[in-house]
Amino acid sequence: MNYVDFKIPTSLAEARAILTELGDQAMPVAGSTLHVFLRDESPKVGVDISRLGLGEIADAGDHYAIGATTTVADLHAFSAPGWVLNRVAEAFVTQPIRNMATVGGSVVRVFPWSDWPIPLLALDAEFVITGDQERVMSAKDFFARQPFHHLQPGDILTSVRVPKMPANAGFGYFKERRTTTDFSRCTVAACVSIEEGTLADARIAIGAAVPMPIRMGAVEEALKGAKPSAAKIETAVLNGLEGVRWKGLHGISDDYARHLTVVRMVDALQAACDEATAQTGEQK
Amino acid sequence: MKKIEFTLNGALRQFDIEPDETLIDLLRRIGLTGTKRGCDTGMCGSCAVVMDGRAVNACILFAFQAAGRTIDTIEGVGDFDQPHPLQVAMADAGAVQCGFCTPGIVMTAKALLDEKPDADEEDFRQHLDGNLCRCTGYVKIKEALLSCSANATASGEAS
């Protein structure tokens, strides 16, 4: 990055005023772990947004409100009923990076290998953007294009709302990488709930093997109302791939990216079903 | 150049920095060369320093992000005459060969032990997952670090 100046606001109002004034010249900085991947060499003013009081996780009833500059290390350390993001955090790069990287920074600018959009899509998270007015976006809308394009000058992503997993729900998460620091080749997150032995809800999202993270709507629809069996899951996955554009990263072919993701979709759904079944004490 | 101040190895200090200067550039510019530049992408851990009690990679952190914070480097941990127990343990266990990764490992382990003095093997595995060593392998490093845990000391495992 070509920083020609920096600002260190200490309140949200001050940060918004700075970002509004600077417009496109401003580059918000929190953990700074992704800046090494940015190729923008135009002159920028770094705006440190890590001191705005947005680094806490709050219990907000039916969801957890994660401040946008909460670090991945804090997501990892957090433990509470219906909280599963510690499992995602555990597979996120290395401890120093977990100590620096923030949830906001990890979703505002999506790279092909980004981890966090996938579980947040599967969990139906919402994204709170504070501008002149506060607005809330669904994960599907937020990740429909590069999320930073949703932000006007002066807007800041302030919070991510993650619904609590209900007692009859299960979560499955897989990230394929060769080493701890490696980029993901395929990331899959699944969330299901079981009522009276059938799948009341099934959500699955994939990333890294596709250009932008997506929900797999056809797979979800095929599973809703079904009894959770290995055969049903596999059939739903194999029949629900139409229209997906596969893109292999880091030396793997598009076909192998597809294969890897299909395998891990089945695994993630099965893991989520097993967990939900165990939670409800119901027999498969 | 723009002025910032932060607490460096226990002393509040002021520095003139360039806006795009990384923390490792600043540290090495002022003579604290114990912090090593390895990959320069936050992947190898040789540049690890402790910011506000947590290990971070100084190669990807901008110096201005340190303003108002507390930064600890290997120079503040120990020296040849008064080494930190972690440094002694690393030497005694033969966990040091070329030594390039050692400052980062010591800083990362120190951050863990300061937060959790009875850290166990899993804690060290998790917290040191960003520190690469290309000389010794990791067995002796693990043994050295574990010997400094109150957990190991309590169970008589310390050397």
CATH number, position A141:
3.30.465.10
Query: What's the rounded Cα separation, in Å, for the pair B122 and B118?
Result: 11
| Most A-contacting residue of B65, B131, B132 (CB-CB within 10 A), to test interface | B65
Domain end point (choices A142, A163, A184)? A163
Cross-chain residue pair A94–B64, CB shorter than 8 Å:
no
A46–chain B Cβ distance below 8 A for any pair: yes
Residues A41 and A82 in one domain: yes
pLDDT of residue B47: 98
Residues A55 and A76 in one domain: yes
Residues A76 and A211 in one domain: no
Statement: the pTM of the whole predicted model exceeds 0.90: yes
Cross-chain residue pair A8–B2, CB shorter than 8 Å:
no
CATH code, A190: 3.30.390.50
Residue A83: pLDDT above 70?
Answer: yes
Query: What's the rounded Cα separation, in Å, for the pair B105 and B98?
Result: 13
Helix (H) or strand (E) holding B88: helix B85-92
Residue B156: pLDDT above 60?
Answer: no
Domain end point (choices A163, A188, A218)? A163
Nearest CA-CA partner of A113 in A204, A211, A242 = A211
Do A39 and A58 touch, CB atoms closer than 8 A? no
Residues A29 and A51 in one domain: yes
Residues A180 and A252 in one domain: yes
The phi and psi torsions of A195 (rounded to 5 degrees) equal: -130, 125
What is the three-class DSSP state of B51? strand
Cross-chain residue pair A46–B62, CB shorter than 8 Å:
yes
Cα of B126 vs its chain's centroid, Å: 15
Residues A156 and A175 in one domain: no
Residues of A in contact with B15 (CB under 8 A): none
Residues A66 and A110 in one domain: yes
Burial A191-225 (b: 16+ CB within 10 A, else e): bbbbeeeebebbbbbbbbbbeebbbbebbbebbee
Residue B159: pLDDT above 70?
Answer: no
Domain end point (choices A99, A130, A163)? A163
Domain count, chain A: 2
Residues A150 and A13 in one domain: yes
**Can you point out the beta strands (E) in chain B?**
2-8, 11-17, 48-51, 54-57, 70-72
- Residue A211 lies in domain: 169-283
Query: What's the rounded Cα separation, in Å, for the pair A122 and A87?
Result: 14
Give residue-wise pLDDT tens across range B46-82. 999 999 999 999 999 999 999 999 999 999 999 999 9
Give residue-wise pLDDT tens across range A241-280. 999 999 998 889 999 999 999 999 999 999 999 999 998 8
pLDDT of residue A38: 85
Residues A96 and A151 in one domain: yes
Query: 3-state SS of chain A?
Result: CEEEEEECCCCHHHHHHHHHHHHHHEEEECCCCCHHHCCCCCEEEEEECCCCCCCCEEECCCEEEEECCCEHHHHHHCCCCCCCHHHHHHCCCCHHHHHHCEHHHHHHCCCCCCCCHHHHHHCCCEEEEECCCEEEEEHHHHCCCCHHHHCCCCCEEEEEEEECCCCCEEEEEEEECCCCCCCCCEEEEEEEEEECCEEEEEEEEEECCCCCCEECHHHHHHHCCCCCCHHHHHHHHHCCCCCCCCCCCCCCCHHHHHHHHHHHHHHHHHHHHHHHHHHHCCCC
Residue B155: pLDDT above 70?
Answer: no
To the nearest 10°, the Cα dihedral for B112, A114, A181, B23?
-60
Residues A10 and A147 in one domain: yes
Residues A142 and A228 in one domain: no
Give residue-wise pLDDT tens across range A24-79. 999 999 998 988 888 888 999 999 999 999 999 999 999 999 999 999 999 999 99
Residues A159 and A197 in one domain: no
Residues of B in contact with A105 (CB under 8 A): none
pLDDT category, B154, cuts 50, 70, 90?
low
